[in-house]
Amino acid sequence: MDYISGLNDRQKEAVLYTEGPLLILAGAGSGKTRVLTHRIAYLIDEKGIFPGNILAITFTNKAANEMKERVEYLLDGNTDYMWMGTFHSICVRILRYNIDKIGYGKSFSIYDRDDQITLMKECIKEMDLDKDIYKERVIINTISSLKDKMIEPDAYIKENYSSLYNRNVGELYALYQKKLKENNALDFDDLILKTVELFRTDPDTLDYYQKKFQYVFVDEFQDTNKIQYELVRLLSQRHKNLCVVGDDDQSIYGWRGADISNILNFERDFPNTKIIKLEQNYRSTQNILDVANHVIKNNRERKNKKLWTANDTGEQVIVENVVDSQEEAYFVANKIEELKGEGYDYSDFAILYRTNAQSRNFEEIFMRKNFPYKLVGGLKFYDRREIKDIVAYLRVIQNPVDDISIKRIINVPRRGIGNVSIEKVENYANRMDISIYDAINQVENIEGLSGRAKNSLKEFSDMINKFMDRVYNMEIREFIELVLLESGYVHELEKEDTIESKTRLENINEFLSVAVDFDVNNPGGNLEDFLSGISLLSDVDKTQDVDNSVTMLTVHSAKGLEFPIVFMVGMEEGLFPISRALESEAELEEERRLCYVAITRAEKLLFITYAKVRTIYGSVNYCLPSRFIDEMPEDLISINRDKGKTQSIRVNEENHKSKLIEIKDYRERRETPKIKNNVEKGDIKAGTKVKHSKWGIGMVVMIKDRDDGEQEITIAFDDNIGLKRLLVSMAPIEIVR
């Protein structure tokens, strides 16, 4: 079979270059999987390499299976002897035969997350540490990160000896590893770590696998961490026929340990590396690619390449300036309706956002319009655990005889009310033919409960009763904030301090935005009304055609996917790029790579939206367009700025918290709401001292006149706030005389 037929020149070069280290820089949509599979097939069929001498490593089972199927199709035969799989599956295979050489039994167990938490609980208890300070999940995440970086417990303890907390974490790490070994068990991170340990301590085993694997392939190399890189380096040292495929411009997982330096410095560690750039894109129009190229070239830490295509030039990228997040959702929905009339299916559309919490507005409007949709990599907003927990609290306050809701939240967050205690309360309620809530209020009459359990139940009852007394004297948003605060729910998540807990906090804050909307649009509305609206929104038709649905997903989840039409929403400073990245050049560059990934998901049409006012996380924010929009060439994009009716925004002068606009028809365009700041264009110069209602005193350091007539200023604030970009017309500032 001709394995280079139909390939472009660079792809052919990559397939035919078989000896020595090879770095394939594969741009988005450049056909990297095709190159990999054709190269493997060429080695086996044309070069006579035995399949068992080839190792191909991927990051997902799906990618491994797809690659294997393609190779089998090309060879028209079985490739069972070839080693192809994820880092973890390859390591399990090696350890099953050899782990006894480092003191483990070959029948070792692999602990999942629940097993890890159980074991860490034992460690915390054994060391007599405060479980409210030393959280199992936090400690496990820390240990995982240390293993990825190949940092041993003793080294971590030595490095952090002056910190009691960190020193104890190091001791927990050591005890955790000791207990794992006693149980002849490995956790997920150990699979790679112990394989590297095996290779370093047993030269014969390393020699065997180095001889065996004459050719080593690694897909998505830009996503490798330190320990994965070390594994690959050790395996490929003898033959040096290491082929890695990746794109430094798509390295977006630094937050979970991926090290971009692995691909940037590859030729340093592997001298005489051949570098082949796959720059021809088969997915997108040239206009879309040019926009992506212009954005990514602003990164310093990258290898130079420029995507091009033989596809049509295509239409301009549309940048839509909307007033607020609700208008944004209507814009997207209306555009989908319009394009469906031109022959597109729902499945042709994807909505990409920076954070999961942003899906809420689109879900609500799609439900109203009866649009089928699916979320990738997450639950629908009202199905998320934290949202269901909050709603359960509110239902109990509104309707205390709701036993289902009360059982959901009675020990959330943990209050020391265990399952046995709950069962005794429920049994008492059944005997007396009363609700669980009524039973809790009679806790002294329930037999078999410990004193601690009774106290915890009484505290829970007092809290719920207090909420019931206050619910009618507060706006819904205020009331929900009270519940979140005094229940300890938010505090518990803040203490956990994991990526998962931070995401859950983002969703909780977005739920406050739902409450803000309700307060504005339903003057005099009560908790019952609010819950009724929530019930209607969360009652999604389960029979929707998911195969023909609009896809909603974060940009991280979109990597590797493609869609004819893409909406990039929420393109504002502080949201995309995310606010925490603004103080770090490395993190800002990763955000820019994330933007590049988002742009290159689009095949035919790309729409970008940004709002001037966004109600997110429970408060109104006045926004500036993302700097990434500024990096897009003006001749390739069409910016539609807001115009139309002027509507007012209600401001609470006491606490400076703005409320949403009440809008009858969001499909009508309208001017941006503004607040009075008594500062006119021209009043401010570089060096002017100003006071911001939230951030305090600052000094203007830069002024920029925008194309839309607005004046943008950069202010350096005191008290570690740093630099902030604001619009003069909307910023809540006054000049300090």
- What string of DSSP letters covers 700-732? EEEEEE-TTS-EEEEEEETTTTEEEEEETTT--
Q: Quick check: 582 and 588 in contact, CB under 8 A?
A: yes
Which secondary structure element, helix H or strand E, spans residue 9, and what is its range? Answer: helix 9-16
Asked if 392 and 483 touch (Cβ cutoff 8 Å), the reply is no
Active site residues: 32-33, 219-220, 250, 601
3-state helix/strand/coil string of 225-263: CHHHHHHHHHHCCCCCCEEEEECHHHCCCHHHCCCCHHH
Quick one: pLDDT at residue 102? 95
Q: How far is CA 343 from CA 156, 339, 340, 350, 546, in A?
A: 60, 7, 5, 16, 19
Angstrom distances, CA of residue 678 to CA of 147, 369, 691, 713: 56, 42, 12, 16
- H-helix or E-strand spanning residue 697: strand 696-705
The pLDDT tens digits for 640-699 are 765 433 232 322 323 323 322 222 232 333 333 334 456 776 778 877 888 877 677 888
Query: Three-state SS for 173?
Result: helix
In the chain, pLDDT over 90 holds for what percent of residues?
A: 48
H helix intervals, 87-245: 87-98, 113-126, 136-148, 153-159, 164-182, 188-201, 203-212, 226-235
Tokens standing for residue 377: 């990599």
Q: Which residue has the higher pLDDT, 730 or 387?
A: 387
| 225: Cβ contacts below 8 Å, ≥ 6 apart | 148, 149, 257, 258, 259, 262
Longest dimension (CA), the chain: 84
Mean pLDDT of 236-260: 92
Identify the pLDDT of residue 115: 86
3-state secondary structure of 609: strand
Q: Where are the beta strands (DSSP E) in 240-348?
A: 242-246, 274-278, 317-322
Residue 608 confidence class, pLDDT cut points 50, 70, 90: very high
Among 249-253, 313-317, 645-649, 704-708, which is the least confidently predicted range?
Answer: 645-649
**Closest listed residue to residue 513, CA positions, set 621, 372, 616:** 616
Mean pLDDT, rounded, for 584-609: 96
User: Quick one: which of 591, 603, 516 has its CA closest to 554?
Assistant: 591
Concatenate the DSSP letters of all residues of 351-365 into one string.
EEESSGGGHHHHHHH
**Residue 617 pLDDT level (bands cut at 50, 70, 90):** low
Single pTM value for the model: 0.75
Phi, psi of 639 (to 5 degrees): -100, 120
Does residue 173 carry a pLDDT above 70? Answer: yes
CA-nearest of 234, 240, 213, 242 to 51 is 213
Place of tokens 């028209």: 76
Please give the span between the terminal C-alpha atoms of the chain, in angstroms, as a whole number: 81
Of 47-51, 102-106, 225-229, 691-695, the least confident:
691-695
Q: Where are the beta strands (DSSP E) in 371-430?
A: 373-375
The contacts of residue 375 (CB under 8 Å, 6+ apart) are 359, 552, 553
64 with 86: CB under 8 angstroms?
A: yes
Nearest-angstrom CA–CA distance, 555 and 564: 16
Q: Is the alpha carbon torsion for 563, 568, 569, 574 positive or negative? A: positive
Distance CA 663, CA 521 (A): 8
pLDDT at 530: 85
* Range picked from 32-46, 441-455, 538-552, 716-730 for highest mean pLDDT: 32-46
Tokens of 573: 């400073």
Which two structure tokens, joined as six digits, stand for 479? Answer: 């009331």
Average pLDDT of span 608-629 = 84
What pLDDT is attached to residue 219? 94
**Residue corresponding to tokens 């994807």:** 350
| Length of the chain in terms of residues written | 737
Q: How far apart are CA 24 and CA 561, in angstroms?
A: 20
* Strand pairing report for 349-353 and 563-568: parallel
Tokens found for residue 78? 């079985």
336: Cα within 13 Å, side-chain hemisphere: 26
Rg (CA), the chain: 29
pLDDT digits (tens, 9 = 90+) for 10-30: 999 999 999 999 999 999 999
718: amino acid identity, one letter: D
Residues ≥6 apart with Cβ < 8 Å to 197:
102
Q: For residue 291, how far is the Cα from the chain centroid?
A: 24
CB 32 within 8 A of CB 559: no
Name the burial class of residue 648, with classes exposed (0-12), middle (13-18) and buried (19+) by CB atoms within 10 angstroms of its CB. exposed
Beta bridge partners of 114: none
Say what the alpha-carbon torsion angle 109, 110, 115, 121 is, to the nearest 10 degrees. 80
Q: What is the pLDDT of residue 501?
A: 85
Helix (H) or strand (E) holding 652: strand 651-652
Q: What is the pLDDT of residues 687-725, one digit of tens each?
A: 788 887 767 788 887 787 766 667 778 887 766 666 677
pLDDT number for residue 506: 84
**Rounded-to-integer distance, Cα 563 and Cα 457, Å:** 52
Token pair 């995507």 is found at 307
Output the pLDDT for position 703: 82
Q: What is the model's pLDDT at position 670?
A: 34
What average pLDDT score do residues 41-59 get? 93
Residues 391-408, mean pLDDT to the nearest whole number: 87
- Beta partners for 575? 578
DSSP class of 276 = E
Greater confidence, 214 or 501? 214
Going by the DSSP 8-state scheme, the letter that residue 579 receives in this structure is G
**Dihedral in degrees, nearest 10, Cα atoms 178, 180, 186, 188:** -90
In this structure, the strands spanning 550-554 and 373-375 are parallel
pLDDT digits (tens, 9 = 90+) for 507-550: 888 888 888 878 877 777 888 878 877 765 555 434 344 679 99
The candidate with the shortest Cα–Cα distance to 241, out of 277, 268, 281, 210, is 210
Residue 519 confidence (pLDDT):
81
Q: At what angle do helices 226-235 and 203-212 cross, to 10 degrees?
A: 70
